[in-house]
Chain A
Amino acid sequence: MIKQKNGLIAGGVVVVLAAAWWGLGAYASGKAEDEIVALLDKTGQRDMVRWESISASPFGSAKLKQVTIGPAGAPVALIDTVKISGLRNTADRRSGDVTIEGAAMPNGYSVLSQTDLARQGGKLDLPPANLRVRWDYDRDDDDAEIHLNLEQPEALSAELSLNLERVNGAVAMAEDGSALAAMGMMGLMGMGRLDRTLAPLGELRIKTGSLSVKDDGHVKRSIELFKRYNLTATPGEGNPDKQRAKQFDKLVSDSKKRCYDQKSFSGFKDNDDACKAAANFASGDKRSITLTLNPRNGVSMAELLSNANNQAKAFALLAPALEN
């Protein structure tokens, strides 16, 4: 039920984005809003999405305010602002920058407040969430950049960026429905190699990438919960919180030592640095952690997949590093 609801919300957001994309493309004719409405009508989603105002500029940006998603009278989500800019949708260049600010449930809490993540982090009254998606694909350079930024105040924020090369083949394939279907099938069948239809995907190269997670309370609360339920204090040996804190510190330093000894992050640029960073983040000493991929000449998907049975080796190709 809840998953269904989340799916509905996500679906609604996607519809808004898609609607905005096409709507802005139609801006030149001065009928952005009409176009969005027409598209919603066509997809049967007209009743599911409403907004109070829309403003568009001739420089390819637009702002929808007070977007409501869900049936009238029983909305499932509210979004303060949807900002769209830098939209290009030509054969040579595709780019865009979409920001969703203040995505909340009708009760005012974040759309993520009913998720398992919120539940296991011990906080349901999370403030509205923000999401920013940026992409830029250049056909002449045969490369692309993707940035994803999720902000959940009082829980955590995450930022993902990827720089890709040799993407033309993959983009062409993505526009071809049958190839997409083949890819879906491959996923279903769990096949680990690319057949000829999917060969363009194998050429795709990762130039650089990074994933950052910054704690804004979620990790801190999870640590408290871990200490509370998984560490046992002994009566007669003083304050239970202090006992658990001591045990936790020991657990972290032991884990760190084990990480050094067993080379848990083998394949990383520096195992010990990675261990330290992971321990610092998990113990709450450092609020953020960043995984960077910085392969010298880029790594192709085909190379990664050919090492699929040796994850450490495949990972090493990406020259990853972990730091706070």
Chain B
Amino acid sequence: MLKTMADQNGCKVVSTFRLGEGAQYITLKSDGLTCGPDGYATGKGRLRLERSDGARIAQSNDVWVVSGIPFTSPIAAARLAYVNDNGSLWFHLDSDPASRSHYLLRAERMSYGSGLDVWRYNRIDVVTENADVFRNAADIKVAVDGALRVLERTALPDAGNARIVFSDDFQQGAIGDQMEHLLYMITADRPTDWRTGKPRGEWRYNLQYAQNYLFKRDEMLARKKREELMRLANQERDHLRQYQNLVEQAKSDPKGILGRMQRDVHYDLLTGGDYRSLMAGRRAAVRMVVHVDDHKDNDAIADWPYEMRLPGQKAMKEGWYLVPGDITLDAKRQDDKGLPLTLLTLGQAAPVACQKEGCADLNDPLVGARMMLGLPDWTPEKAQAVIDQATQP
């Protein structure tokens, strides 16, 4: 973003210089500037861009040039630390290892046209790891006074006002102005002599008018946490409701819970139902209680609820399972009833190995709820605890 051009004396000036197509006809002229030992212009003066035909493309008011960078007000030595996309500049002023703080001066770009840009001192960015300072008025004063002293001592000995922004991260806070990385913002001023521009008194600032982002952030986090707790509580209320429904159902229909877990092929004597489409080579998604009692080749063989094979499941031990999967028919092979052999292929979800005959152990409101919710560790007690926590005052 920044470019360098030499003035008529060969002194280098830094700005954005967007000269366009006729760049080769445009020259930089200055009044009152001198060359520093590093070849960069320095001192107070004016800048202008002129075209070869004598036309004036752009012209500045008085600027104070430090290491080639033009400022709108006098600034002492400046070490450029960062340039952002808008052309704002950050200059490193000082660092304090004791408070783990870095002090930066931010200058915003203002343009006289054609990239003849100068920079105006805008605020002090303090990046500090010492966030907790900003919970206590006395500590805050120390931090603010420290920043003002750095400002006086380095870039702006005669500054009459200062906006100081504390953050805990350079990129996200100082540059990005992201709320969750800002800590504190305050403005300070002091009287200056309008004739000499020299300060005539002490810095004044009022903590009442400061912005404390730290407390705001605390509030925001607390609110987010509260909202999350409420959300979880609502979710658990819903889970509890579903569980209670199952408990009620279990009273009226003792086998209903396991029954509702299952999904089998539908057969209709007149139309054939699902079975007809199975015979046409399609598959049907099922969830069935099966009893594995034998193995052949790579397959497990089930004898409950009727003869079927579970292809590739030779590792399945004898016993009862609730198996989610797909049913297909193998018309080339027949079962003991002379009907096409039923194949039950496992789906994505794993089969549930049951403890009791016919998977009776699954016929329980808690087991049913866990399966329905997809939460193997869910308990009504834990759910109630989550709700209680959220509703605490």
Contact = CB atoms under 8 A, between A and B. Distances in A.
Interface of A: 116, 118-120, 122-125, 217, 221-222, 224-226, 228-230, 232-236, 240-241
B322 to A, nearest CB: 12
B358 A234 contact: yes
Interface of B: 264-269, 271-273, 275-276, 279-280, 289, 291, 303-306, 320, 331, 337-340, 357-360
A118 B357 CA distance: 36
B323 to A, nearest CB: 15
A226 B272 CA distance: 10
Given A122-B279, A122-B340, 20 more contacts: A118-B279, A119-B272, A119-B280, A120-B271, A120-B275, A122-B275, A217-B338, A221-B338, A222-B269, A225-B275, A225-B339, A228-B305, A228-B306, A228-B337, A229-B267, A235-B289, A235-B359, A235-B360, A236-B357, A236-B358
Contact of B267 (A118, A225, A240): A225
Contacts of B303: 240
A124 B334 CA distance: 12
Instruction: Provide the main secondary structure of the chain A interface.
Output: helix
Nearest to B340: A122
B337 A224 contact: yes
A124 B276 CA distance: 11
Contacts of A236: 357-358, 360
Contacts of A235: 289, 291, 304, 320, 357-360
Most chain B beta-carbon neighbours within 10 Å: one of A118, A124, A125, A236: A124
Nearest to A154: B338
Contacts of B268: 120
A233 B303 CA distance: 12
A236 B21 CA distance: 93
Contact of B276 (A119, A217, A230, A233): A119
A236 B280 CA distance: 35
Contacts of B304: 233, 235, 240
Given A224-B337, A228-B306, A240-B305, A116 B358 contact: no
Given A122-B340, A221-B339, A235-B304, A229 B275 contact: yes
Nearest to A220: B338
Contacts of A118: 279
Nearest to A122: B339
A116 B277 CA distance: 9
A263 to B, nearest CB: 23
Nearest to A223: B269
B378 to A, nearest CB: 26
12 contacts: A119-B275, A124-B340, A217-B338, A221-B338, A221-B339, A225-B275, A226-B269, A229-B273, A229-B275, A235-B360, A240-B304, A240-B306
B305 A233 contact: yes
A228 B331 contact: no
A125 B331 contact: yes
Contact of A226 (B267, B306, B338, B359): B267
Contacts of A119: 272, 275-276, 279-280
Nearest to A232: B305
Contact of B338 (A224, A229, A233): A224
A224 B334 CA distance: 13
B91 to A, nearest CB: 79
A228 B305 CA distance: 8
